């Protein structure tokens, strides 16, 4: 049975969304707004849709202070902080999946995993060759495809050189990676994408 995702209101758009589509922020003791990407920091959560435009709107229009009903200092560096944090989280999840034997790398191995029905998430480096990404997209009818990480980020996360294509087999780590990658894509725009099956 799938776990129900809690919903919160975005302080920028007013939309009520699942927390998997939002980023939680809190105000620290100094009055600075900090991202709480893991959802474990103490304090009242200030939720914003997981994309650069909505976070920029919250910063520019001082929506964090309004929602916190008090001092809440935020500037445009918050966007790059969130992007870097989400990229790190994606890499950590991939590393866990790799250590658990749940990741395959290389185009041919990914294709074989898809053919055998064993791929839950397909991954293509956002800065990989367009032709390879297009071929992998053709397989995305079987599993969603994430294009949010670069070759360097994928290689670092998996401890290998020049990783351009990968797949994660079914399991909780696949869904966690897909969720984090979708949130990251909101900060990378056209530099990354999620192709749904």
What is the reported pTM?
Answer: 0.89
Which fold, 83-195? 60s Ribosomal Protein L30; Chain: A; (3.30.1330)
Can you give the three-state secondary structure of the chain, one letter per residue? CCCCCCEEECCCCCCEEEHHHEEEEEECCCCEEEECCCCCCCCCCEEEECCHHHHHHHHHCCHHHHHHCCCCECCCHHHHHHHHHHHHHHHHHHHHHHHCCCEEECHHHHHHHHHCCCCCEEEECCCCCHHHHHHHHHCCCCCCEECCCCHHHHHHHHCCCCCCEEEECCCHHHHHHHHHHHHHHHHHHHHCCEECC
pLDDT digits (tens, 9 = 90+) for 64-109: 999 999 999 999 899 999 999 999 999 999 999 999 999 999 999 9
Q: Which CATH architecture has domain 7-75?
A: 2-Layer Sandwich (3.30)
pLDDT digits (tens, 9 = 90+) for 98-113: 999 999 999 999 989 9
Q: Where are the domains of the chain?
A: 7-75, 83-195
pLDDT digits (tens, 9 = 90+) for 15-48: 999 999 999 999 999 999 999 999 999 999 999 9
Q: For 103-159, write each residue's pLDDT tens digit.
A: 999 999 998 998 888 899 999 999 988 888 788 778 767 789 999 999 999 999 999
């Amino acid at each position: 049975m799938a776990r129900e995702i809690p919903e919160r209101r975005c302080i920028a758009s007013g939309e009520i969304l699942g927390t998997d589509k939002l980023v939680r922020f809190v105000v620290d003791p100094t009055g600075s707004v900090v991202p709480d990407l893991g959802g474990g920091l103490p304090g009242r959560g200030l939720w914003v849709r997981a994309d650069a435009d909505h976070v920029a709107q919250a910063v520019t229009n001082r929506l964090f202070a309004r929602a916190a009903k008090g001092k809440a200092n935020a500037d445009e560096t918050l966007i790059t902080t969130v992007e870097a944090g989400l990229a790190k989280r994606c890499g950590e999840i991939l590393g866990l999946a790799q250590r658990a034997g749940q990741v395959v790398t290389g185009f041919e191995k990914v294709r074989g995993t898809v053919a055998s029905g064993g791929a839950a998430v397909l991954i293509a480096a956002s800065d990989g060759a367009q032709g390879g990404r297009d071929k992998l997209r053709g397989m995305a009818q079987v599993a969603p495809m994430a294009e949010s990480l670069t070759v360097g980020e994928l290689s670092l996360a998996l401890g290998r050189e020049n990783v351009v294509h990968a797949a994660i087999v079914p399991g909780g780590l696949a869904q966690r990676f897909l969720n984090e990658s979708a949130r990251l894509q909101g900060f990378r725009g056209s530099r990354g994408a999620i192709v749904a099956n």
